[in-house]
Chain A
Amino acid sequence: MTGEAYDYMMSAVVLGAIFTAAVFVVPSLSYVNLLYLDQQQLQNVALSAIKTILFDEGYPTNWGSMHGTNMFNEIDVKRFGLAALSDPSLYVLDSNKVQRLANNPMGNISYAKVKELLGLSGYDFSIIMRPLFNVDRSVDIQRASNEQTATITWETNVSRSDGHPVPKAIVYPTIIYAVDSGSSFETRTVQSRNETDSLGRCQGSALVSVSGNAKIKDIIVVFRVTVADRSTMVVSSQDTHDPDDIAKINIVGDTIVLSLPEDMSNPENRWITNIQMYNFETSISLLNGTNKDTLNYGSNNVWNMTFSGLSGCDPGILVLTFNTVLGPHEGGRTLAILVGPWALWNLGGIMRFNPVPVGSGASAVVKRDVIIAGMAYVAELRLWKT
Protein backbone atom coordinates (compact mmCIF):
# COMPACT_ATOMS: atom_id res chain seq x y z
CA MET A 1 0.00 0.00 0.00
CA THR A 2 2.85 2.36 0.94
CA GLY A 3 4.76 1.31 -2.16
CA GLU A 4 1.78 2.13 -4.39
CA ALA A 5 1.38 5.60 -2.86
CA TYR A 6 5.10 6.17 -3.32
CA ASP A 7 4.74 5.13 -6.99
CA TYR A 8 1.88 7.59 -7.53
CA MET A 9 3.82 10.44 -5.92
CA MET A 10 6.92 9.80 -7.97
CA SER A 11 4.84 9.57 -11.17
CA ALA A 12 3.18 12.88 -10.31
CA VAL A 13 6.59 14.56 -9.79
CA VAL A 14 8.01 13.17 -13.07
CA LEU A 15 4.91 14.09 -15.04
CA GLY A 16 4.94 17.56 -13.44
CA ALA A 17 8.53 18.02 -14.59
CA ILE A 18 7.62 16.94 -18.11
CA PHE A 19 4.63 19.29 -18.08
CA THR A 20 6.81 22.20 -16.95
CA ALA A 21 9.34 21.47 -19.69
CA ALA A 22 6.60 21.17 -22.28
CA VAL A 23 4.90 24.41 -21.25
CA PHE A 24 7.94 26.70 -20.66
CA VAL A 25 11.16 25.31 -22.10
CA VAL A 26 10.15 23.77 -25.43
CA PRO A 27 8.18 26.80 -26.72
CA SER A 28 10.98 29.17 -25.75
CA LEU A 29 13.53 27.01 -27.53
CA SER A 30 11.35 26.85 -30.59
CA TYR A 31 10.60 30.58 -30.49
CA VAL A 32 14.27 31.56 -30.31
CA ASN A 33 15.01 29.12 -33.08
CA LEU A 34 12.17 30.38 -35.24
CA LEU A 35 13.17 34.00 -34.67
CA TYR A 36 16.72 33.14 -35.59
CA LEU A 37 15.57 31.25 -38.66
CA ASP A 38 13.44 34.24 -39.63
CA GLN A 39 16.42 36.57 -39.24
CA GLN A 40 18.65 34.33 -41.34
CA GLN A 41 16.02 33.98 -44.01
CA LEU A 42 15.68 37.78 -44.15
CA GLN A 43 19.46 38.11 -44.31
CA ASN A 44 19.64 35.66 -47.22
CA VAL A 45 16.84 37.44 -49.09
CA ALA A 46 18.55 40.80 -48.45
CA LEU A 47 21.89 39.48 -49.73
CA SER A 48 20.24 38.13 -52.84
CA ALA A 49 18.36 41.41 -53.41
CA ILE A 50 21.41 43.63 -52.97
CA LYS A 51 23.35 41.39 -55.35
CA THR A 52 20.71 41.98 -58.01
CA ILE A 53 20.48 45.71 -57.28
CA LEU A 54 24.24 46.34 -57.41
CA PHE A 55 25.46 43.80 -59.99
CA ASP A 56 22.60 43.68 -62.51
CA GLU A 57 22.36 46.37 -65.19
CA GLY A 58 18.63 45.82 -65.50
CA TYR A 59 16.81 45.69 -68.82
CA PRO A 60 16.88 47.71 -71.01
CA THR A 61 20.50 48.03 -69.93
CA ASN A 62 20.33 51.83 -70.28
CA TRP A 63 16.97 52.15 -68.57
CA GLY A 64 18.03 55.20 -66.56
CA SER A 65 18.71 57.30 -69.65
CA MET A 66 16.73 55.55 -72.41
CA HIS A 67 14.09 58.26 -72.62
CA GLY A 68 16.66 60.98 -73.21
CA THR A 69 15.16 64.36 -72.42
CA ASN A 70 11.60 63.04 -72.58
CA MET A 71 9.73 62.13 -69.43
CA PHE A 72 10.89 58.83 -67.94
CA ASN A 73 8.29 56.05 -68.02
CA GLU A 74 8.75 53.18 -65.56
CA ILE A 75 6.56 50.83 -67.63
CA ASP A 76 9.48 50.42 -70.04
CA VAL A 77 11.73 48.98 -67.33
CA LYS A 78 11.57 45.18 -67.54
CA ARG A 79 14.31 44.24 -65.06
CA PHE A 80 15.77 46.25 -62.21
CA GLY A 81 19.45 46.80 -61.46
CA LEU A 82 21.72 49.80 -60.93
CA ALA A 83 25.07 48.54 -62.30
CA ALA A 84 26.86 50.76 -64.81
CA LEU A 85 26.61 49.51 -68.36
CA SER A 86 29.96 50.80 -69.57
CA ASP A 87 31.98 49.66 -66.58
CA PRO A 88 32.73 45.93 -66.17
CA SER A 89 33.86 46.41 -62.55
CA LEU A 90 31.73 45.37 -59.63
CA TYR A 91 30.07 47.91 -57.36
CA VAL A 92 30.19 50.72 -59.94
CA LEU A 93 26.69 52.15 -60.33
CA ASP A 94 25.12 54.14 -63.15
CA SER A 95 24.28 57.63 -61.84
CA ASN A 96 21.42 57.91 -64.39
CA LYS A 97 19.78 54.84 -62.83
CA VAL A 98 20.46 55.90 -59.23
CA GLN A 99 18.94 59.34 -59.89
CA ARG A 100 15.70 57.63 -60.95
CA LEU A 101 15.28 56.48 -57.35
CA ALA A 102 15.22 60.08 -56.10
CA ASN A 103 12.51 62.64 -56.72
CA ASN A 104 13.41 63.71 -60.21
CA PRO A 105 11.65 66.31 -62.37
CA MET A 106 12.40 64.10 -65.37
CA GLY A 107 10.53 61.20 -63.81
CA ASN A 108 11.45 58.49 -61.38
CA ILE A 109 10.78 54.80 -60.79
CA SER A 110 8.26 54.02 -58.07
CA TYR A 111 8.82 51.82 -55.04
CA ALA A 112 5.97 49.50 -56.09
CA LYS A 113 7.56 48.97 -59.52
CA VAL A 114 10.99 48.18 -58.06
CA LYS A 115 9.44 45.80 -55.55
CA GLU A 116 7.58 44.01 -58.33
CA LEU A 117 10.68 43.76 -60.54
CA LEU A 118 12.78 42.40 -57.67
CA GLY A 119 10.09 39.84 -56.85
CA LEU A 120 9.96 40.89 -53.21
CA SER A 121 6.27 40.31 -52.59
CA GLY A 122 5.78 39.62 -48.90
CA TYR A 123 8.66 41.91 -48.00
CA ASP A 124 9.25 45.63 -47.76
CA PHE A 125 12.58 47.35 -48.11
CA SER A 126 14.33 50.70 -48.20
CA ILE A 127 17.54 51.75 -49.94
CA ILE A 128 19.84 54.48 -48.66
CA MET A 129 22.86 55.87 -50.50
CA ARG A 130 25.05 58.05 -48.35
CA PRO A 131 28.60 59.39 -48.46
CA LEU A 132 31.24 57.64 -46.39
CA PHE A 133 31.33 60.56 -43.99
CA ASN A 134 29.40 63.69 -43.07
CA VAL A 135 30.56 67.22 -43.77
CA ASP A 136 28.98 69.97 -41.71
CA ARG A 137 29.94 73.44 -42.81
CA SER A 138 29.21 77.06 -42.13
CA VAL A 139 30.06 79.94 -44.44
CA ASP A 140 30.07 83.64 -43.69
CA ILE A 141 30.30 86.13 -46.56
CA GLN A 142 31.01 89.78 -45.79
CA ARG A 143 30.62 92.04 -48.83
CA ALA A 144 31.93 95.58 -49.18
CA SER A 145 29.25 98.17 -49.98
CA ASN A 146 30.87 98.92 -53.36
CA GLU A 147 30.50 95.23 -54.32
CA GLN A 148 34.17 95.04 -55.29
CA THR A 149 35.52 92.95 -52.43
CA ALA A 150 34.17 90.17 -50.28
CA THR A 151 35.63 88.22 -47.39
CA ILE A 152 34.56 84.59 -47.16
CA THR A 153 35.10 82.67 -43.93
CA TRP A 154 34.29 78.99 -43.58
CA GLU A 155 34.41 76.25 -41.01
CA THR A 156 33.92 72.54 -41.68
CA ASN A 157 33.51 69.52 -39.48
CA VAL A 158 34.14 66.10 -40.99
CA SER A 159 32.84 63.05 -39.12
CA ARG A 160 31.93 59.41 -39.65
CA SER A 161 28.34 58.27 -39.60
CA ASP A 162 28.60 57.46 -35.88
CA GLY A 163 29.84 60.98 -35.14
CA HIS A 164 33.53 60.13 -34.67
CA PRO A 165 35.75 62.87 -36.13
CA VAL A 166 37.80 62.21 -39.26
CA PRO A 167 41.24 63.77 -38.74
CA LYS A 168 43.56 64.61 -41.64
CA ALA A 169 40.75 64.84 -44.13
CA ILE A 170 41.70 67.23 -46.91
CA VAL A 171 39.11 69.93 -47.52
CA TYR A 172 39.29 71.92 -50.76
CA PRO A 173 36.98 74.93 -50.47
CA THR A 174 36.43 76.46 -53.91
CA ILE A 175 34.94 79.94 -54.03
CA ILE A 176 32.98 80.56 -57.20
CA TYR A 177 31.79 84.12 -57.77
CA ALA A 178 29.94 85.83 -60.56
CA VAL A 179 31.37 89.12 -61.84
CA ASP A 180 29.29 91.68 -63.70
CA SER A 181 31.55 93.98 -65.72
CA GLY A 182 28.71 96.00 -67.18
CA SER A 183 29.06 94.78 -70.74
CA SER A 184 29.89 91.15 -69.88
CA PHE A 185 29.44 88.49 -67.24
CA GLU A 186 31.99 85.95 -66.07
CA THR A 187 32.52 83.35 -63.37
CA ARG A 188 35.80 83.17 -61.45
CA THR A 189 37.11 80.56 -59.02
CA VAL A 190 39.54 80.60 -56.10
CA GLN A 191 40.58 77.33 -54.48
CA SER A 192 42.36 76.69 -51.20
CA ARG A 193 43.31 73.64 -49.16
CA ASN A 194 42.75 72.82 -45.49
CA GLU A 195 43.39 69.75 -43.37
CA THR A 196 41.14 68.70 -40.52
CA ASP A 197 42.62 68.55 -37.02
CA SER A 198 42.25 65.68 -34.55
CA LEU A 199 38.65 66.73 -33.91
CA GLY A 200 37.83 66.65 -37.62
CA ARG A 201 37.57 70.44 -37.86
CA CYS A 202 39.19 73.02 -40.08
CA GLN A 203 38.56 76.62 -40.96
CA GLY A 204 39.85 79.28 -43.29
CA SER A 205 39.08 82.51 -45.06
CA ALA A 206 39.74 84.19 -48.37
CA LEU A 207 39.38 87.64 -49.87
CA VAL A 208 38.11 88.07 -53.42
CA SER A 209 38.18 91.39 -55.22
CA VAL A 210 37.58 92.97 -58.62
CA SER A 211 38.57 96.33 -60.05
CA GLY A 212 37.28 98.97 -62.45
CA ASN A 213 33.57 98.85 -63.17
CA ALA A 214 33.29 95.19 -62.27
CA LYS A 215 31.11 94.11 -59.39
CA ILE A 216 30.91 90.88 -57.45
CA LYS A 217 27.42 89.44 -57.56
CA ASP A 218 26.60 85.95 -56.33
CA ILE A 219 29.15 83.90 -54.35
CA ILE A 220 29.04 80.18 -53.69
CA VAL A 221 31.51 77.96 -51.84
CA VAL A 222 31.88 74.32 -52.91
CA PHE A 223 33.66 71.92 -50.56
CA ARG A 224 35.39 68.86 -51.91
CA VAL A 225 36.56 66.58 -49.13
CA THR A 226 38.87 63.60 -49.52
CA VAL A 227 40.27 61.06 -47.10
CA ALA A 228 43.38 59.26 -48.33
CA ASP A 229 42.46 60.51 -51.81
CA ARG A 230 39.63 58.05 -51.83
CA SER A 231 36.44 59.40 -50.47
CA THR A 232 35.15 62.49 -52.07
CA MET A 233 32.16 64.53 -51.24
CA VAL A 234 31.01 67.84 -52.59
CA VAL A 235 28.72 70.17 -50.74
CA SER A 236 27.96 73.80 -51.42
CA SER A 237 26.98 76.77 -49.39
CA GLN A 238 25.82 80.24 -50.35
CA ASP A 239 24.13 83.12 -48.64
CA THR A 240 21.92 85.05 -51.06
CA HIS A 241 19.31 82.60 -52.25
CA ASP A 242 18.03 79.05 -52.09
CA PRO A 243 19.40 77.26 -55.17
CA ASP A 244 16.12 75.38 -55.55
CA ASP A 245 14.34 78.69 -56.19
CA ILE A 246 16.23 79.25 -59.45
CA ALA A 247 16.22 75.93 -61.31
CA LYS A 248 16.81 72.22 -60.94
CA ILE A 249 19.78 70.67 -62.69
CA ASN A 250 19.80 67.14 -64.06
CA ILE A 251 22.20 65.29 -66.30
CA VAL A 252 20.78 62.50 -68.46
CA GLY A 253 23.64 60.82 -70.34
CA ASP A 254 25.43 63.70 -72.07
CA THR A 255 22.47 66.06 -71.83
CA ILE A 256 22.00 68.83 -69.29
CA VAL A 257 18.36 69.29 -68.40
CA LEU A 258 17.23 72.36 -66.48
CA SER A 259 13.73 72.65 -65.12
CA LEU A 260 11.86 75.20 -63.07
CA PRO A 261 10.82 74.66 -59.47
CA GLU A 262 7.17 73.73 -58.94
CA ASP A 263 6.81 76.60 -56.50
CA MET A 264 6.06 79.66 -58.66
CA SER A 265 7.00 82.23 -55.99
CA ASN A 266 9.58 83.68 -58.38
CA PRO A 267 7.90 83.83 -61.82
CA GLU A 268 10.61 85.89 -63.55
CA ASN A 269 12.56 84.74 -66.60
CA ARG A 270 15.88 83.02 -65.91
CA TRP A 271 18.45 83.77 -68.63
CA ILE A 272 21.27 81.23 -68.75
CA THR A 273 24.39 83.33 -69.19
CA ASN A 274 27.06 80.68 -68.77
CA ILE A 275 27.60 76.96 -68.10
CA GLN A 276 30.96 75.56 -67.03
CA MET A 277 32.18 72.07 -66.17
CA TYR A 278 34.55 72.24 -63.22
CA ASN A 279 36.55 69.17 -62.18
CA PHE A 280 38.34 70.91 -59.28
CA GLU A 281 41.47 71.43 -61.35
CA THR A 282 40.34 73.03 -64.57
CA SER A 283 37.23 74.70 -65.74
CA ILE A 284 35.77 74.10 -69.19
CA SER A 285 33.27 76.54 -70.62
CA LEU A 286 30.39 74.61 -72.16
CA LEU A 287 28.05 77.42 -73.10
CA ASN A 288 27.87 81.17 -73.33
CA GLY A 289 24.15 81.72 -73.33
CA THR A 290 22.19 83.66 -75.92
CA ASN A 291 18.71 85.12 -75.57
CA LYS A 292 17.31 81.72 -76.61
CA ASP A 293 18.77 80.06 -73.52
CA THR A 294 16.07 80.88 -71.08
CA LEU A 295 13.73 79.29 -68.57
CA ASN A 296 10.27 80.65 -67.78
CA TYR A 297 6.83 79.48 -66.73
CA GLY A 298 5.53 80.05 -70.23
CA SER A 299 6.73 77.99 -73.16
CA ASN A 300 10.28 77.33 -71.86
CA ASN A 301 9.79 75.53 -68.58
CA VAL A 302 12.44 72.94 -69.48
CA TRP A 303 15.76 73.65 -71.16
CA ASN A 304 18.15 70.98 -72.43
CA MET A 305 21.31 70.74 -74.47
CA THR A 306 23.63 67.84 -75.29
CA PHE A 307 27.39 68.13 -74.77
CA SER A 308 29.33 65.22 -76.22
CA GLY A 309 31.49 63.42 -73.64
CA LEU A 310 29.88 65.14 -70.67
CA SER A 311 29.14 61.88 -68.85
CA GLY A 312 32.84 60.94 -68.91
CA CYS A 313 33.87 63.97 -66.85
CA ASP A 314 33.13 62.42 -63.44
CA PRO A 315 33.72 63.52 -60.81
CA GLY A 316 32.91 67.07 -61.73
CA ILE A 317 30.30 69.69 -61.15
CA LEU A 318 28.38 72.05 -63.37
CA VAL A 319 28.54 75.74 -62.58
CA LEU A 320 25.66 77.67 -64.11
CA THR A 321 25.19 81.42 -64.04
CA PHE A 322 21.73 82.90 -64.47
CA ASN A 323 20.58 86.45 -65.02
CA THR A 324 17.49 86.58 -62.89
CA VAL A 325 15.57 88.19 -60.09
CA LEU A 326 16.28 86.42 -56.82
CA GLY A 327 12.76 86.79 -55.48
CA PRO A 328 9.59 88.86 -55.68
CA HIS A 329 10.94 91.48 -53.26
CA GLU A 330 14.65 91.23 -54.02
CA GLY A 331 15.06 94.19 -56.38
CA GLY A 332 16.25 94.11 -59.98
CA ARG A 333 18.01 91.52 -62.07
CA THR A 334 21.32 90.15 -60.92
CA LEU A 335 23.63 87.19 -61.47
CA ALA A 336 22.92 83.99 -59.58
CA ILE A 337 25.18 80.95 -59.49
CA LEU A 338 23.92 77.41 -59.34
CA VAL A 339 26.03 74.29 -58.83
CA GLY A 340 24.86 70.76 -59.55
CA PRO A 341 23.58 68.24 -60.23
CA TRP A 342 22.60 67.49 -56.66
CA ALA A 343 20.13 64.66 -57.09
CA LEU A 344 22.40 62.21 -55.28
CA TRP A 345 23.36 64.29 -52.35
CA ASN A 346 20.56 66.69 -51.68
CA LEU A 347 18.82 66.44 -48.33
CA GLY A 348 22.09 66.50 -46.43
CA GLY A 349 23.93 64.24 -48.82
CA ILE A 350 21.72 61.20 -48.42
CA MET A 351 19.44 59.63 -51.02
CA ARG A 352 16.61 57.60 -49.52
CA PHE A 353 14.29 55.28 -51.44
CA ASN A 354 11.13 54.34 -49.55
CA PRO A 355 12.34 55.77 -46.24
CA VAL A 356 9.54 54.36 -44.11
CA PRO A 357 10.21 53.47 -40.48
CA VAL A 358 10.84 49.79 -39.87
CA GLY A 359 8.39 47.94 -37.62
CA SER A 360 9.39 46.29 -34.39
CA GLY A 361 9.82 42.85 -36.01
CA ALA A 362 12.98 41.36 -37.45
CA SER A 363 14.78 43.17 -40.24
CA ALA A 364 18.01 42.59 -42.12
CA VAL A 365 20.52 45.26 -43.13
CA VAL A 366 23.20 44.80 -45.78
CA LYS A 367 25.72 47.52 -46.62
CA ARG A 368 28.17 47.75 -49.49
CA ASP A 369 30.59 50.42 -50.67
CA VAL A 370 29.79 51.57 -54.19
CA ILE A 371 31.10 54.11 -56.66
CA ILE A 372 28.67 56.55 -58.26
CA ALA A 373 29.92 59.20 -60.68
CA GLY A 374 33.48 58.65 -59.47
CA MET A 375 32.61 59.17 -55.81
CA ALA A 376 32.41 56.63 -53.00
CA TYR A 377 29.10 56.00 -51.28
CA VAL A 378 27.64 53.40 -48.95
CA ALA A 379 24.59 51.58 -50.33
CA GLU A 380 22.41 50.23 -47.56
CA LEU A 381 19.49 47.85 -48.07
CA ARG A 382 17.10 47.28 -45.17
CA LEU A 383 14.55 44.48 -45.60
CA TRP A 384 11.69 43.29 -43.45
CA LYS A 385 8.55 41.19 -43.75
CA THR A 386 5.35 42.94 -44.72
Chain B
Amino acid sequence: MRVVESIMAALIVISAVTFLYFFASTPSSQAHDTSELEKIGHNILHDVDEQRLLARYVYRSEWANITSALVVSLPTNVYFNLSIYDINHNPINHPLIQYGDQQVFSSSAAVASVTYILPGYKTSYNPRILVLKLVNG
Protein backbone atom coordinates (compact mmCIF):
# COMPACT_ATOMS: atom_id res chain seq x y z
CA MET B 1 0.00 0.00 0.00
CA ARG B 2 2.85 2.36 0.90
CA VAL B 3 4.43 1.69 -2.54
CA VAL B 4 1.25 2.83 -4.25
CA GLU B 5 1.11 5.92 -2.02
CA SER B 6 4.77 6.72 -2.72
CA ILE B 7 4.30 6.31 -6.48
CA MET B 8 1.17 8.49 -6.39
CA ALA B 9 3.06 11.18 -4.41
CA ALA B 10 5.99 11.02 -6.82
CA LEU B 11 3.70 11.34 -9.84
CA ILE B 12 1.97 14.36 -8.31
CA VAL B 13 5.29 16.06 -7.56
CA ILE B 14 6.74 15.27 -11.00
CA SER B 15 3.61 16.45 -12.83
CA ALA B 16 3.62 19.66 -10.76
CA VAL B 17 7.27 20.34 -11.65
CA THR B 18 6.65 19.50 -15.31
CA PHE B 19 3.64 21.81 -15.40
CA LEU B 20 5.66 24.64 -13.88
CA TYR B 21 8.52 24.03 -16.30
CA PHE B 22 6.26 24.29 -19.34
CA PHE B 23 4.40 27.21 -17.81
CA ALA B 24 7.67 29.13 -17.40
CA SER B 25 9.10 28.16 -20.79
CA THR B 26 10.12 31.03 -23.06
CA PRO B 27 9.89 31.48 -26.81
CA SER B 28 12.37 29.31 -28.60
CA SER B 29 15.82 30.69 -29.31
CA GLN B 30 15.34 30.03 -33.01
CA ALA B 31 12.27 32.28 -33.18
CA HIS B 32 14.25 35.05 -31.52
CA ASP B 33 17.24 34.58 -33.84
CA THR B 34 14.99 34.66 -36.90
CA SER B 35 13.35 37.87 -35.78
CA GLU B 36 16.75 39.52 -35.29
CA LEU B 37 18.01 38.26 -38.67
CA GLU B 38 14.89 39.68 -40.34
CA LYS B 39 15.56 43.06 -38.77
CA ILE B 40 19.21 42.96 -39.89
CA GLY B 41 18.22 41.92 -43.44
CA HIS B 42 15.66 44.66 -43.78
CA ASN B 43 18.06 47.21 -42.28
CA ILE B 44 20.74 46.40 -44.86
CA LEU B 45 18.46 46.34 -47.90
CA HIS B 46 16.98 49.63 -46.71
CA ASP B 47 20.43 51.20 -46.26
CA VAL B 48 21.65 50.09 -49.69
CA ASP B 49 18.39 51.41 -51.17
CA GLU B 50 18.83 54.63 -49.19
CA GLN B 51 22.16 55.16 -50.90
CA ARG B 52 20.34 54.75 -54.26
CA LEU B 53 22.36 51.67 -55.11
CA LEU B 54 19.93 48.79 -54.71
CA ALA B 55 17.77 49.72 -57.72
CA ARG B 56 20.89 50.32 -59.80
CA TYR B 57 22.26 46.88 -58.91
CA VAL B 58 18.98 45.13 -59.72
CA TYR B 59 17.87 46.94 -62.88
CA ARG B 60 21.35 47.18 -64.37
CA SER B 61 22.11 43.54 -63.53
CA GLU B 62 25.11 44.36 -61.31
CA TRP B 63 24.94 40.98 -59.60
CA ALA B 64 28.57 40.94 -58.44
CA ASN B 65 28.08 44.34 -56.82
CA ILE B 66 24.92 43.34 -54.97
CA THR B 67 26.72 40.24 -53.66
CA SER B 68 29.73 42.27 -52.51
CA ALA B 69 27.53 44.90 -50.87
CA LEU B 70 25.63 42.25 -48.90
CA VAL B 71 28.81 40.37 -47.97
CA VAL B 72 30.50 43.41 -46.43
CA SER B 73 27.29 44.68 -44.80
CA LEU B 74 26.02 41.52 -43.09
CA PRO B 75 27.63 40.15 -39.93
CA THR B 76 30.42 37.74 -40.80
CA ASN B 77 28.63 34.64 -39.50
CA VAL B 78 25.44 35.21 -41.50
CA TYR B 79 24.90 33.38 -44.79
CA PHE B 80 22.49 34.69 -47.39
CA ASN B 81 20.66 33.81 -50.54
CA LEU B 82 18.89 36.44 -52.63
CA SER B 83 16.18 35.79 -55.23
CA ILE B 84 14.54 38.40 -57.42
CA TYR B 85 11.05 38.20 -58.91
CA ASP B 86 8.87 40.36 -61.11
CA ILE B 87 5.45 41.66 -60.11
CA ASN B 88 3.80 38.33 -61.06
CA HIS B 89 6.32 36.47 -58.92
CA ASN B 90 8.14 35.03 -61.92
CA PRO B 91 11.84 34.62 -61.11
CA ILE B 92 14.21 37.01 -62.82
CA ASN B 93 17.05 35.18 -64.48
CA HIS B 94 20.29 35.99 -62.69
CA PRO B 95 23.41 34.19 -61.46
CA LEU B 96 23.34 32.92 -57.89
CA ILE B 97 23.48 35.76 -55.38
CA GLN B 98 24.59 33.99 -52.25
CA TYR B 99 27.25 33.63 -49.60
CA GLY B 100 28.21 30.72 -47.39
CA ASP B 101 27.37 27.06 -47.32
CA GLN B 102 23.88 26.78 -48.83
CA GLN B 103 23.23 23.43 -47.15
CA VAL B 104 22.77 25.33 -43.89
CA PHE B 105 19.54 26.73 -45.33
CA SER B 106 18.03 23.26 -45.58
CA SER B 107 19.47 21.95 -42.32
CA SER B 108 18.67 24.94 -40.10
CA ALA B 109 15.19 25.49 -38.72
CA ALA B 110 15.88 29.20 -38.19
CA VAL B 111 15.95 30.68 -41.68
CA ALA B 112 14.87 34.31 -41.83
CA SER B 113 13.19 35.64 -44.95
CA VAL B 114 12.92 39.32 -45.83
CA THR B 115 10.83 40.62 -48.71
CA TYR B 116 11.73 44.02 -50.11
CA ILE B 117 9.98 45.66 -53.03
CA LEU B 118 11.55 48.05 -55.53
CA PRO B 119 8.98 50.01 -57.51
CA GLY B 120 11.24 50.78 -60.45
CA TYR B 121 14.38 52.50 -61.61
CA LYS B 122 14.59 56.20 -62.29
CA THR B 123 11.27 57.09 -63.95
CA SER B 124 10.11 53.67 -65.16
CA TYR B 125 7.60 51.68 -63.11
CA ASN B 126 8.69 48.06 -63.21
CA PRO B 127 8.45 46.48 -59.75
CA ARG B 128 10.89 43.86 -58.53
CA ILE B 129 10.41 41.70 -55.45
CA LEU B 130 13.58 40.83 -53.58
CA VAL B 131 13.51 37.84 -51.26
CA LEU B 132 16.56 37.71 -49.01
CA LYS B 133 17.01 34.55 -46.97
CA LEU B 134 19.39 34.66 -44.03
CA VAL B 135 20.73 32.06 -41.68
CA ASN B 136 23.37 31.96 -38.98
CA GLY B 137 26.30 29.93 -40.28
Contact = CB atoms under 8 A, between A and B. Distances in A.
Interface residues of A, number: 44
Nearest to A41: B26
Interface stretch (B40-48, B82-90, B114-122): B40-48
Contacts of B25: 33
B91 to A, nearest CB: 23
A376 B47 contact: yes
A369 B57 contact: no
Interface residues of B, number: 41
Contacts, number: 105
A284 interface: no
A368 B43 contact: yes
Given A21-B14, A368-B43, A37 B26 contact: yes
Interface stretch (A84-92, A145-153, A328-336): A84-92
Q: Which 5 A-B pairs have the closest CB atoms?
A: A228-B65, A228-B69, A162-B76, A7-B2, A228-B68
B66 to A, nearest CB: 7
A228 B76 contact: no
B17 interface: yes
A229 B26 contact: no
A230 B53 contact: yes
Interface in B33-87: 36, 39-40, 43-44, 46-48, 50-51, 53, 57, 62, 64-66, 68-69, 71-73, 75-76
A381 interface: no
Interface of B: 1-3, 5-7, 9-10, 13-14, 17, 21, 24-27, 29, 32, 36, 39-40, 43-44, 46-48, 50-51, 53, 57, 62, 64-66, 68-69, 71-73, 75-76
Interface in A45-99: 47, 89-92
A368 B43 CA distance: 7
A18 B68 contact: no
Contacts of A228: 53, 57, 62, 64-66, 68-69, 72
Given A36-B26, A366-B36, 4 more contacts: A33-B26, A37-B26, A168-B64, A228-B65
Contacts of B5: 11
